[in-house]
Amino acid sequence: MSTFDLIVYIFFLLFVAKLHLVSCRGSFSSDPSNRQQLDKVLDLPGQSFNVSFASYSGYVTTNKESGRALFYWFFEAVEDTSSKPLVLWLNGGPGCSSVAFGLAEEIGPFHIEKDGKSLYLNPYSWNEVANILFLDSPVGVGFSYSNTSSDLLSNGDERTGAFFCLSLFSVIFVVLIYVDSSRSLISISYIAAAENLEFLLQWFDRFPQYKENDFYITGESYAGHYVPQLSQAIVRNNHNTGEKVINLKGFMVGNALTDDFHDHLGRFEFMWSVGLISDQTFKRLNIVCDFQSFIHSSELCEKVQDIAEEEMGDIDLYSIYTPPCKANFSRSNHPQSGKRFGILRIAYDPCTEEHSTVYFNLPEVQRALHVQDKSPSFKWETCSDLVYDNWKDSPRSVLKVYRELLRSGLRIWIFSGDTDAVIPVASTRYSIDSLKLPTVGPWRAWYDDGQVGGWTQEYDGLTFVTVRGAGHEVALHKPKQALTLFKSFLSGKSMPKLDLFSDS
């Protein structure tokens, strides 16, 4: 084949692929304003108060062939929505719902009363200062679903074969790279886009008025993988297209799974230092589990962790100084309840998880959120055992991703509640220390209303913040301080110092 013939063939493939992508993305052919109105939440059960902002919920199809669809719930900022940043929140697990945790008991504007039917306003909601988008990811989590049952058994950090809509592009780029391998026109790994990136691209098609807004990604726990990985995918996608398709400015993660070795090392050290486990068990954990995967531990490591669990007794590992839920709410279906110290969330406050389970299984709530008319019939769960138990790949570390993104100019913050025994402060400090970043702002206390809110240190390209007295879900335990943290992050300013007032 001559060079001319090859070029003509490539352009033909590009044309066919474009048609294929349009067929996959139904949003291209519909009016965005009409799609928005269809998703608008008009009458939310249990809401007995008026608000000044609108919310939207529904599905974005990420793979038409297999019927994969991710559920979102979007809240406008309380005021000046067009000028406020857009922030995506992700929960972890893997397998836990961002609607269940991030929205319903942490940073969302609506929280659920103990009756499981009524709502109340959260005065420290993050939509006070930003537009907030909650996403249930991957399929099988919360209200997100797939019409292909095998999809629920093949989730992982990297779903390289997930998007049939992009498969033709992969073929094209293989040809391009073959033609000019020395210049490496594009990396194949960029084409195997994460499902969350595909969701965002389609969501911005549906809500084009937010494309120019500053965009940030936040999350906690296993989202310590999701958030930097998605940020990397966006940065690479923007680079490859030659334009800022998504106006990403930065990301922030809390009590985040980052590096399995450092996370284990810091966790065992924390549990021993606060007196939760014996000297003997501490030594055995370090010998047996230090180099184990957090998600796929060995049988021997799990046995030693079972011993540690016995020694600790009936406490909430996610918040060691607060009482666990004692209501008639079974935790036996949570794969990390009672063993392996996993990343799944155990009920707190003390039973906020129970309230969410009742509320989001109400038929009238599912109708209001446009769930029942689009998704298969299923029981809503805060966390999916099926997704967790069948998680395929979990990289031992995302520090390499950090090293790449630190060169991109993004604003990167990491925060940590200091009463969490799952991903404790010590774990995060070990991970950050391994990056060997120069310190530009030394360790110091930060303040909220004249009281120490926690401690912070600023590095070249990264800011670390602890929140005093907060557990794994920082905004659940310390909502006011969490909002102060969020405001500082968005502004790019250092955490507040103590204001000293003179009597004169």
Average pLDDT over residues 271-283: 97
pLDDT at 436 over 70: yes
329 in a domain, yes or no?
Answer: no
Nearest one of 117, 91, 145 to 382, comparing CA atoms: 91
245 in a domain, yes or no?
Answer: yes
182 in a domain, yes or no?
Answer: yes
pLDDT of residue 233: 94
Better-predicted residue by pLDDT, 225 or 376: 225
Catalytic residue chosen out of the listed positions 57, 66, 146, 221: 221
481 in a domain, yes or no?
Answer: no
Is 157 in the active site?
Answer: no
Separation CA 473–CA 219 (nearest Å): 10
At residue 465 the predicted structure's pLDDT band, cuts being 50, 70 and 90, is very high
pLDDT at 326 over 90: no
pLDDT at 51 over 60: yes
Give the number of other CB atoms < 10 A from CB of residue 364.
13
pLDDT of residue 295: 78
Tell me the range of 29-33, 301-305, 347-351 where mean pLDDT is highest: 301-305
At residue 175 the predicted structure's pLDDT band, cuts being 50, 70 and 90, is very low
496 in a domain, yes or no?
Answer: no
pLDDT at 64 over 50: yes
Residue 204's φ and ψ, nearest 5 degrees, are: -70, -30
Is 115 in the active site?
Answer: no
48 in a domain, yes or no?
Answer: yes
At residue 24 the predicted structure's pLDDT band, cuts being 50, 70 and 90, is very low
Cβ(354)–Cβ(346) under 8 Å? no
Secondary structure (DSSP) of 374-398:
TS------SB-HHHHHT-----SB-
Query: 4-13, 208-217, 278-287, 457-466 — which is least confidently predicted?
Result: 4-13
Average pLDDT over residues 113-133: 96
Q: Report the domain count for the chain.
A: 1
167 in a domain, yes or no?
Answer: yes
pLDDT at 173 over 70: no
pLDDT at 453 over 90: yes
pLDDT at 112 over 90: yes
Catalytic residue chosen out of the listed positions 111, 264, 472, 477: 472
- Summary mean pLDDT of the chain: 83
pLDDT of residue 65: 87
Query: 223-227, 288-292, 480-484 — which is least confidently predicted?
Result: 288-292
pLDDT of residue 67: 87
Longest dimension (CA), the chain: 87
Domain membership of residue 185 as a residue range:
3-254
pLDDT digits 0-9 by tens, 192-239: 236 899 999 999 999 999 999 999 999 999 999 999 999 999 999 999
Better-predicted residue by pLDDT, 488 or 22: 488
Average pLDDT over residues 280-293: 92
Is 149 in the active site?
Answer: no
pLDDT of residue 50: 93
Catalytic residue chosen out of the listed positions 151, 418, 420, 448: 420
Supply the CATH number for residue 189's domain: 3.40.50.1820
444 in a domain, yes or no?
Answer: no
Separation CA 129–CA 85 (nearest Å): 8
Omega before residue 363 within 30° of 0, cis: no
pLDDT at 45 over 70: yes
